[in-house]
């Protein structure tokens, strides 16, 4: 991973776009969606950008770019399409340690712009690090088709209960278990369908029920180490929800990286009895346990899937 994935809060903060035309307009609109205070510098502006200026949505500076223009901005986009000018913008921004993106020139940029799936407040960014923007856009299109448009409503609903859930469950793992159960429940579907009134009453009941100690659970995942990409969506979800992942030694990162970063990963040998004891201890502690078995080990382990 060459680029560190992050999201910046630029609401109300000054951001600069250098250039006019379609590329500059696209950056301006994205900055506006994030609530930025946008200034655009160019000798001439296209009609759409002039219209934004007339409405007072952006500040327009009608002249050639100067190095000093980048000062006091938290982020800069070079979108003129003129190689020498974009290079000058990038150089001026980098000299002041201001993040800068140059359209279609990843080598000159200190950050890259991802393809975006927006289910506000849930936002997904997909990037190839500049290697293949077209591929990133194709992946975005696939994800767009998979994700319900009601996810934004669901995220807002969950946010409205975060304080109540935090006050009810002091322990992080208990809160995590609660939210996972919520997002897997019919209640989440009801929220996405717009049934907010009933959903709020049901949510309060769910919080009250969840105050009782949770029992541990165990699930099994079988995988061919040579074909890790054939994991089913169900198995990926099982691994992602686990507190503890017990796995054979030949299970690689392509499978284990589906686990949460805070989940314990425990490599076990073929001793089914010892592994069973270890798993039982985790279950008594109320943990969600997943046992990932290599297909070559299943016969020897004497375990099925469930």
Look up the CATH number of the domain holding residue 235: 3.40.1010.10
Q: Taking residues 4-28, report their average pLDDT.
A: 96
Is residue 229 one of the residues assigned to a domain?
yes
Give the pLDDT confidence score for residue 124 in this predicted structure. Answer: 93
Phi and psi at residue 124, to the nearest 5° = -120, 130
Same domain assignment for residues 7 and 39: yes
> What distance in Å separates the CA atoms of residue 286 and residue 243, rounded to the nearest whole number?
9
Q: Round to whole Å and give the CA distance between 156 and 194.
A: 12
pLDDT digits (tens, 9 = 90+) for 272-302: 778 888 999 998 888 889 999 998 654 444 4
Q: Which of 77-86, 103-112, 171-180, 232-241 is the most confident on average?
A: 77-86
Residues 202 and 271 in one domain: no
Residue 272 to residue 76: CA distance in whole angstroms: 58
Q: Which residues pair with 264 in a beta bridge?
A: 244
Highest mean pLDDT among 6-15, 206-215, 224-233, 241-250: 6-15
User: What's 139's domain CATH number?
Assistant: 3.30.160.110
Model pTM score: 0.69
Residue positions counted in the chain = 306
Residue 291 lies in domain? 217-301
Q: Please, what is the Cα angle at 139 between 265 and 154, to 5 degrees?
A: 70
Mean pLDDT value of segment 145-171: 90
Lowest pLDDT segment from 8-17, 67-76, 213-222: 213-222
Residues 101, 104, 109, CA angle at the centre, nearest 5°?
30
Spatial strand order in the sheet of 288-294: 217-223, 288-294, 244-248, 264-268
């Amino acid at each position: 991973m060459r680029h560190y994935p992050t999201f910046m809060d630029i609401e109300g903060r000054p951001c600069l776009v250098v250039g006019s035309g379609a590329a500059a307009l696209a950056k301006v609109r994205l900055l506006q969606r994030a609530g930025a205070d946008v200034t655009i510098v160019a000798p001439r502006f296209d009609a759409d950008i002039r219209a934004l200026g007339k409405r007072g949505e952006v500040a327009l500076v009608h002249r050639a770019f100067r190095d000093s223009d980048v000062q006091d901005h938290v982020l800069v986009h070079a979108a003129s399409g003129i190689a020498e000018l974009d290079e000058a913008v990038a150089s001026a921004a980098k000299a002041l340690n201001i993040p800068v993106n140059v359209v279609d020139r990843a080598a000159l940029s200190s950050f890259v712009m991802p393809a975006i799936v927006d289910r506000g407040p849930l936002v997904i960014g997909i990037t190839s690090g500049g290697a293949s923007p077209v591929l990133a856009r194709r992946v975005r299109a696939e994800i767009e088709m998979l994700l319900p448009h009601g996810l934004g409503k669901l995220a807002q609903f969950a946010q409205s209960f975060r304080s109540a859930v935090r006050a009810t469950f002091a322990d992080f793992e208990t809160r995590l278990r609660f939210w996972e159960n919520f997002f897997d429940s019919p209640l989440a579907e009801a929220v996405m369908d717009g049934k907010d009134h009933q959903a709020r009453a049901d949510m309060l009941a769910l919080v009250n029920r969840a105050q009782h100690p949770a029992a541990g659970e165990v699930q099994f995942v079988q995988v061919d180490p040579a074909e890790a990409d054939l994991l089913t969506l169900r198995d990926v979800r099982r691994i992602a929800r686990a507190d503890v992942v017990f796995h054979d030694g030949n299970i690689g990162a392509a499978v284990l990286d589906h686990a949460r970063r805070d989940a314990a990963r425990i490599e076990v040998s073929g001793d089914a009895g010892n592994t069973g004891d270890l798993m039982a201890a985790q279950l008594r502690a109320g943990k969600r346990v997943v046992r990932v078995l290599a297909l070559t080990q299943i016969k020897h382990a004497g375990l099925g899937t469930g």
